[in-house]
Structure 1
Amino acid sequence: MKRSILHLDLDTFFVSCERLLDSKLNGKPILVGGTGSRGVVSAASYEARTFGVHSGMSMKMARMMCPEAIVIRGNAGTYSKFSKMVTDILQENVPVLEKASVDEFYVDMSGMDKFFGCYKYAGELRHKIIKETGLPISFGLSENKTVSKIATGEAKPNNQLKIDYGMEKTFLSPLSVRKIPGVGDKTYQTLCHLGIKEVKVLQQMPREMVENVLGKNGSILWQKANGIDHSPVIEYHERKSISNERTFGKNTTDMDLLTRYITAMTENLAYLLRNGNKMTACISIKIRYSDFNTYSKQVKLPYTSADHILIPTALELFHKLYDKRLLVRLVGVRFSDLTSGSYQISIFEDTKKTTQLYEAMDKIRSRYGSRSVIRANCMDVHSIGNDFNPFNGEPPTVLAHRNA
C-alpha cells in the first residue's frame, strides 16, 4: 500500500499567537524573543524577514536591521495553550498523529483514499484548524515525511501543496540543498565547497561518493535528495511527568548532602527534558522521613527546561518543606505539566550565550553520558545520571531510585 504522509506547520507560530491576542499587530513587523540587549530572536514575522531578520539572530542586530519592528518578549505558556488546541483538533480527526514540536505535526493518512480523498480531507482539516483557532497553518502531502516537510515549506505562507506519487525527485530537483531537513550551516558549507548547491546535482551524484565525503550522514542525505524516506510516523502520546528519587542507605540530616542530591537530580531531569524536546511548568519536591511519613510541595512556573531556573526553584522548595529536626530517608524531584518544545522557546529571558552553553553541555552528555558534565558540588553524588530517554515509549515514571 502506498503511503500518504501529511506534514503540518503553524506559520510564524509565536507571532500568530501574539496577533490573535492583539489585532493591532497585524501587518506590522514583529520580533518575538529576548528583549534585552543580549536577547535572541525566537520568531520573526514575514514583514520583518524582508529586512533579513531571522530566528536565532541577536535581538540587537535584528533591531538595527529592522528599526520599526515591534519587539515582544514571548510567553511560552500562551504558545503551549494554542499548540494544545491544534493538537486536540488533530487527535480527534486523524488516525495516527506525531507531534514533532510545539508547532509542527505529521499525520499518516495511508489507506484513507479508499474512503476520502487524502488531499481533500487534509484541506478540510486545515480550514477547520484555521476556523477554530484563528491560526494560519500550511501543509505538504506526499508519500514520505521528508518530501512532505519540504512541500510545506514551499506552500507557506498559509497554503497547501500535494506532491503526486512518482514526482518526488522532480519536485525536489530545482530546490536548494539547504531545504533538505538536517542540512545545517556546516553541511551546507561542505556541499557548497563541492559545488553542490541544488538538489538536482546531489541526485546525479553516486551515493558512494556522497557517503565518502559526509560519512553515514551522506547516505541519508542522498536518499532524502532522491525523495527516499521510509521513517514512520510515531504516534503521539503526551507524557505527564518525569521524576528522580534517592533513598539513602543511612538516614541523614546533612543539609549539604541533601542539597547536593536535589541539585544533581534536578540537573539530570533538566537534561532529559532538553534531550526529549520537552519543557516543564511544574516542579515538585518530595521528602520521606525516617518514620516513613512523606511530604511534598510543588510550584508552577513558566515553561522551561533550563538548569539556572529549575535548580534554584527546586532548592527553594526543599528549604521550605524540610523539617531539620527529623532524619531524612528519601528525597525526590518531579517535573510535571510537560509540553513539547525545545529550550529555544525559553530564550525570551535568556541570552544567546546561555542557550549555546546548554547546547554544548548536552552534546557532550549525549556522547559520553549524562554525568560527563556536572556541577562541581555534585561530583561525589553517585548513581544520579540517567541516559535513558523517557520520551521514547512508555518507561516507568521514576527514572532512578537507588540506595545512596
Structure 2
Amino acid sequence: MQGPQRYIAHLDLDSFFVSVEMLNNPSLKGKAVIVGGSADRGVVTTCSYEARKYGVRSAMPMKTAMKLCPHAILVKGTRGEYSRYSRWVTEIIAAKAPLFEKASIDEFFIDLTGMDKFFDPYQWTIDLRNEIMETTGLPISFGLASNKMVAKIATDEAKPNGFLFVQPGMEKEFLAPLPVNKFSGVGESLHSKLNQMGIYTIQQLSNTPMTLLEKILGKSGADLWKKSQGIHEGIVQPYHESKSISTENTFEENKTDVAFLLSELVRMTEKVAYELRQDGKLAGCIAVKIRYPNFDTTSKQIAISYTLRDDELIPVAIDLFHKLYQKGQPIRLLGVRLSELTSHKLQGSLFDETDKKDDLYKAIDAVKNKFGKTALQKARTVKSPEKDNPTKG
C-alpha cells in the first residue's frame, strides 16, 4: 500500500551574508558587494548578484574576483550578525513547521507530508516565506517538491528571491533540460567524464542505460541514473534532535586543583572542537557540566556565534566553569558539550583572519589524524607525569 504523497520544501536565504550586510548598511544595496577574506589571500564567501554578473563566484580567490570586478566593495563580514539572523529565521520556522531540518546556517528543509489534509502545502510555504521576509527583511527563495533533491534544485532555479513548485509526477520533466552538474556530487572530473560520453543534460543521463553508466562510472553511475529519474529517498532530519558532540571525565579521585581542572577543560574543549571539524560542522552553543562527590550535577550553556575554533570555544568554556564552580568544592566529573550544530559549505571563510588560522587548524588536524588525537596539545593541557590520568566516563 502506497503511503501519503510526500511534500518537501527547501528554503534558502539568498546571498545570506551579503543580505545581512545590506540590511545593516543600506548604502550597499544595488552595488557589487563581496563578503570574504583579505584581498591578498582570501576567498569569496558570497557576493551580491551585481558582482555575479561579472563572473564572481563563491570559493573564488579574492584576487581573481577583484580582477573580474575591480569596483566591488569588499566586506570582511560580521559573523555574530549572521548567527543572530540565522537563529531569527530558525525561530520563525520552528514556530510554524511540523518537522524541519536546519541543513546549514542559511538553508532549511521542511517535511509537509500528510499536511495536505489540513492546508495547501504550496500556499503554506508561500505564507511562511512572506513572514520571514516581512519580519527579518531578508530575501529567501524556496522550492517545493516530492523529495529533498528536487526541492533543492527547484530553489536554485527559483533564485533570486523566488519560489517554484514541482508538482508530484513532474520531477523527471522538470529535471530533463537542466545540465548534469546540477546534481550535488557532480564535480569537474565527473562532469567532464559525462560530457565525454555525450551526456550534457539530465534528460540525456536518464536515457542512458544504468548498466552502461555503472560500467563506466561505478557505483556513482547507478546513483546518478536514479537521480535523473527524479528519485531521492533522503529524509528530513528533525532539528530538535540535532546531534551534539560531548565528552566528560569522571576522575579516579575527586579534584580541587583549579589549574588541573582548567587544563582538563581546555583539553576536552580541544577534543570536541576537533570532532566538530572532522564532521564539517559549526557549533552555536557550548555547555560545561560539573558533578560534585555527592552527585549534585550542575551545567550551564550559552549561545555563541557559530564557530569551529578552539581559540573561540576555550575562553567561553573557562568563563562558564568559573560561573558554575563552587569554590573549594572537590569535583568528581567534568564535561563539555557542543550543540546547535549546523554546516556551511564555506565555513572557514566565515571568519576573520580566515586564511592563516584555517591553514593552522587544517595542519593541526592533519597531524592528529596521522599520529592520534593527543599528538598536539596546548601547553596548559600537558600534564606532568605524576598527575592522575583521568578515565573517561
Sort the TM-score into its range (normalised by shorter chain). Answer: 0.7 to 0.9
The 3-state SS of whatever aligns with 1:67 is: coil
- 1:22–1:339 CA distance, 2 compared to 1 (3 A): farther
| Residue in 2 that maps onto 1:342 | 344
Give the match for residue 126 of structure 1.
129
Does 1:107 pair with 2:110?
yes
Match of 1:188 among 183, 191, 197: 191
Give how far 1:89 is off: 1.9
Deviation at 1:205, TM superposition (A): 1.5
**TM-score in terms of structure 2 length:** 0.79
Instruction: Provide the residue aligned with 2:228 in structure 1.
Output: 225
> Counterparts of 2:294 and 2:119 in 1: how far apart (Å)?
63
Q: How does 1:23-102 map to 2 (within 5 A)?
A: 23-35=26-38, 37-102=40-105
Indicate how the Cα distance of structure 1 residues 374 and 59 shifts in structure 2: closer, same or farther if over 3 A, else same.
farther
CA distance in 1, matches of 2:377, 2:164: 54
| 2-structure distance, mates of 1:253, 1:115 | 59
Tell me, yes or no, if structure 1 residue 2 matches structure 2 residue 5: yes
CA 1:170/1:95 → structure 2, altered by over 3 Å: closer, same or farther?
Answer: same
Q: Kindly indicate whether residue 185 of structure 2 is the aligned counterpart of residue 167 of structure 1.
A: no
Check 1:228–1:298 CA distance in 2 against 1; reply closer, same or farther (3 A cut).
Answer: closer
Q: Give ranges in structure 2 of 5+ residues lacking alignment.
A: 382-389
Task: Spell out the pairing of 1:363-374 with structure 2 (5 A cutoff).
Answer: 372=372, 374=374
Identical residues among aligned pairs (%): 47
Q: Write the distance in 1 (CA, Å) between the matches of 2:199 and 2:263.
A: 51
Q: CA deviation at 1:24?
A: 0.8
- Which secondary structure state, in structure 2, belongs to the residue aligned with residue 237 of structure 1? helix
Alignment of 1:3-402 (within 5 A): 3-35=6-38, 37-237=40-240, 242-249=245-252, 261-275=264-278, 278-280=281-283, 283=286, 302-307=305-310, 309-310=312-313, 330-335=333-338, 338=340, 340-342=342-344, 344-347=346-349, 348-352=351-355, 355=358, 372=372, 374-377=374-377, 402=391
Contact 1:12–1:43, Cα closer than 8 Å, also in 2:
yes
Equivalent residue letter for 1:188: H
In 1: Cα distance, 2:155 partner to 2:367 partner: 33
Aligned residue identity for 1:69 = A
The DSSP-based 3-state class of the residue aligned with 2:352 is coil
Q: 1:317 to 1:135 in 2, by over 3 A?
A: closer
1:150 Cα deviation after fit? 0.6
- Give yes or no for contact 1:142–1:164 (8 Å, CA) kept in 2: yes
**Alpha-carbon shift at residue 133 of structure 1 (Å):** 1.5
Q: How large is the RMSD of aligned CA atoms in angstroms?
A: 4.0
The residue type paired with residue 129 of structure 1 is I
In the TM superposition, what whole-angstrom CA distance separates every residue of 1:113-163 from its partner, at most 9, and x where no partner exists? 333322222222222221121111111111111111111101111111111
Is the CA contact (8 Å cut-off) linking 1:80 and 1:339 kept in structure 2?
no
Q: Is the 8 A contact 1:14 1:43 kept in 2?
A: yes
Q: SS in structure 2 opposite 1:376?
A: coil
Change beyond 3 A, Cα 1:8–1:39: same
Residue 278 of structure 1 deviates from its aligned partner by 4.0
Contact 1:238–1:339 under 8 Å retained in 2: no
Local SS of the residue matching 2:239: coil
Q: Distance in 1 between matches of 2:364 and 2:392?
A: 27
C-alpha spacing 1:316/1:185, structure 2 compared with 1 (3 Å): farther
C-alpha distance in structure 1 between counterparts of 2:71 and 2:127, whole Å: 37
Inter-CA distance 38–119: structure 2 relative to 1 (3 Å threshold): same
Cα deviation for residue 61 of structure 1 reads 2.4
Deviations 1:322-346 (A, max 9, x none): 99x998765443446x352338345
Range moving further from structure 2, 69-78 or 259-268: 259-268
Give the Cα–Cα distance (whole angstroms) in 2 for the partners of residues 216 and 362 of structure 1.
30
Quote the offset at 1:181 in angstroms. 2.3
In the TM superposition, residue 372 of structure 1 has moved relative to its aligned partner by: 4.5
| 2:386 alignment partner in structure 1 | none
CA contact under 8 A between 1:260 and 1:377: conserved in structure 2?
Answer: no
Amino acid at match of 1:54: R
Question: How many Å apart are 1:193 and its aligned residue?
Answer: 3.8
Contact 1:38 1:351 in 2 (8 A): no
Contact 1:304–1:343, Cα closer than 8 Å, also in 2: no
How many Å separate the matches in 1 of 2:54 and 2:298?
Answer: 55
Residue 190 (structure 1) shift: 3.4
Deviation by residue 1:87-114 (Cα, 9 ceiling, x = unmatched): 2222222322122111111112223333
Distance change (3 Å), C-alpha of 1:29 and 1:172: same
Structure 1 residue runs of 5 or longer lacking an equivalent are: 382-400
